Amino acid sequence: MIALFLLSHLGGCAVLYLTHRHQGWLARPLGGLWRLAGALALLLALALSLRLYAAPAALFLWSVLAMLAFSLLPFVTLLLPERRHAA
């Protein structure tokens, strides 16, 4: 259950990040339905955290993980191989 919480939370954050126009992973951002899917994944993660922990701890964990994920996701592009433009 904890693994499902973490996967849905990090997956939802990643999908929401990929829908933003300034994301650096894809050539073009994902469409609007993906934004809804990311939001639903985050709501599922919130429901799972409320099921696993007491309400104050669940909300704190959910918000801290969101802050951590949204802070670190832009730096994943540094781990991707560099794209070379044809000269």
pLDDT block averages, 10 residues each, the chain of length 87: 92 92 82 91 95 95 94 85 62
pLDDT at 70: 92
Domain ranges of the chain: 2-78
Full-model pTM: 0.83
Question: Residue 61, exposed/middle/buried by CB under 10 A (0-12, 13-18, 19+)?
Answer: middle
How far apart are alpha carbons 62 and 50 in whole angstroms? 9
pLDDT at position 86 is: 52
Pick from 13, 72, 20: which is nearest to 45 by CA? 13
What is the pLDDT, as a whole number, of residue 31? Answer: 83
> Which pLDDT score, from 0 to 100, does residue 24 have?
77
Angle between helices 32-52 and 2-18 (to 10 degrees): 150
